[in-house]
């Protein structure tokens, strides 16, 4: 199934350092499937997309991101390689697709955009065919008419926009500093709540035997990034998700990259379905059913506390379901990371990470 990558930095980075040059870049992940268990769909060749924000505020350009996508396999698109060698940005979303819903078309390629907002998804919505009517009945016409493709992911984005609207925020007007991390996180959690409840209502047979939803969502307004690692199950792991922070993401020899850490800075933050480097110390595994927020180059982890939350950190989850969908990568043990903050009231029950503040 799909893979995605997020970069947020104090300074812009050449897209090639994320997309094409690393030996295990997200483009190479689309065909080099050594970490993939799903043999039904061994490659992510159903299109790709990259979205990024321009560096200088320009009224003529507006605040919307630039998005380039195509239905060709990412490894076989010369225009993408040329673009990556000549483009820099401090906030980048990239996605390679192995389709589960929706035909092969550019309208179904991630990331999706709405004014300044950009959204992508790794996973699947359980019972999507049966709950689609719930989406139609719930969301406002403006967001229903916004949908151009047929993926469950784009419908989830439309629902997210509707949640923002119903929280009293106009999704078309982020303002000069964006919406703020709290409102984006709240809208994301409401989106998950609706999908979870509708899937239950439309489930057939025993809920425990019904396929769970895998909801690794990512959204940004050009300032703040909110990402989830979530599954509607108490026993299964969600699709894999990792993050890395440091002072620089550097190429120390051709094709080989590592995260450099000096003075415990977080000038560079990467979030990825699959690590871009093979350095174990570079990456931290995001716990299942967690929302990750990147705000002012600070990473915040919040547990998603609902009926699928496991308060006891000693309980291990199975990875069978996510593995069968090709949505796991090797477990990266938690490492020391600076400036990762947990809100005081939500630390109880949080799976322990080896973090230093």
Would you state the pLDDT for residue 208? 46
Residue 329 pLDDT: 62
CA distance 258 to 281: 9
**What is the Cβ-side half-sphere exposure of residue 162, based on CA atoms within 13 angstroms?**
24
Q: Give me the pLDDT at residue 102, please.
A: 47
pLDDT at res. 74: 54
| Integer angstrom CA distances of residue 293 from 178, 224, 249, 329 | 14, 7, 20, 22
Percent of the chain with pLDDT over 70: 78
CA gap 245, 269 in Å, rounded: 5
The label of the residue with tokens 């003529």 reads: 60
Residues 11-66: pLDDT tens digits? 999 999 999 888 877 677 655 544 444 444 444 445 789 999 987 667 788 889 99
| 27 and 18 Cβ atoms separated by less than 8 Å | no
Catalytic residue list contains 2: yes
What pTM did the predictor assign?
0.86
Domains of the chain, residue spans: 3-346
DSSP one-letter string for 19-40: HTSSTT-HHHHTT--TT----S
pLDDT at 280: 81
* Per-residue confidence (pLDDT) for residue 351, from 0 to 100: 37
Give the residues of the chain that fall short of pLDDT 70: 1, 26, 29-46, 56-57, 71-76, 97-106, 204-209, 325-327, 329-357
Work out the angle between the directed axes of helices 181-201 and 152-166 (0-180°, nearest 10).
120
152-188 per-position pLDDT tens digit: 999 999 999 999 999 999 999 999 899 999 999 999 9
Query: Of the residues 2, 69, 109, 163, which is catalytic?
Result: 2
Maximum alpha-carbon separation in the chain: 55
What is the structure's pLDDT at 107?
72
**CATH architecture of the domain covering 3-346:** 4-Layer Sandwich (3.60)
């Amino acid at each position: 199934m799909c893979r995605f990558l997020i970069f947020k930095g104090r300074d812009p980075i050449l897209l090639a350092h994320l997309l094409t040059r690393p030996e295990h870049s997200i483009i190479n992940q689309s065909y080099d499937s050594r970490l993939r268990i799903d043999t039904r769909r061994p490659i992510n060749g159903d299109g790709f997309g990259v979205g990024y924000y321009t560096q200088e505020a320009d009224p003529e350009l507006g605040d919307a991101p630039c998005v380039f996508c195509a239905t060709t396999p990412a490894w076989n698109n010369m225009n993408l390689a040329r673009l990556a060698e000549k483009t820099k940005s401090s906030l980048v979303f990239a996605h390679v697709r192995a389709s589960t819903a929706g035909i092969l078309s550019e309208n179904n390629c991630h990331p999706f955009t709405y004014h300044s907002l950009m959204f992508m998804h790794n996973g699947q919505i359980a019972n999507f065919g049966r709950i689609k009517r719930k989406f139609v009945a719930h969301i406002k016409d403006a967001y229903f008419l916004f949908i151009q493709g047929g993926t469950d992911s784009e419908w989830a984005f439309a629902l997210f926009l509707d949640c923002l609207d119903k929280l009293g925020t106009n999704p078309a007007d982020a303002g000069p500093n964006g919406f703020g991390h709290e409102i984006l996180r709240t809208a994301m959690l409401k989106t998950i709540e609706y999908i979870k409840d509708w899937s239950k209502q439309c489930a057939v047979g025993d809920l425990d035997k019904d396929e769970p939803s895998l909801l690794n969502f990512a959204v940004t307004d050009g300032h703040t990034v909110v990402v989830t690692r979530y599954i509607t199950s108490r026993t299964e792991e969600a699709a894999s998700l990792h993050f890395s922070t440091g002072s620089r993401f550097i190429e120390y020899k051709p094709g080989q990259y590592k995260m450099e850490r000096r003075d415990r800075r977080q000038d560079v933050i990467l979030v990825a379905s699959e690590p871009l480097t093979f350095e174990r110390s570079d990456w931290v595994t995001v716990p299942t059913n967690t929302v990750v927020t990147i705000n002012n180059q600070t990473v915040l982890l919040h547990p998603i506390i609902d009926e699928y939350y496991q308060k006891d950190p000693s309980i291990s989850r199975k990875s069978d379901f996510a593995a069968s969908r090709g949505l796991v990568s090797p477990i990266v043990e938690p490492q020391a990371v600076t400036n990762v903050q947990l809100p005081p009231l939500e630390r109880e029950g949080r799976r322990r990470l080896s973090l230093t503040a």
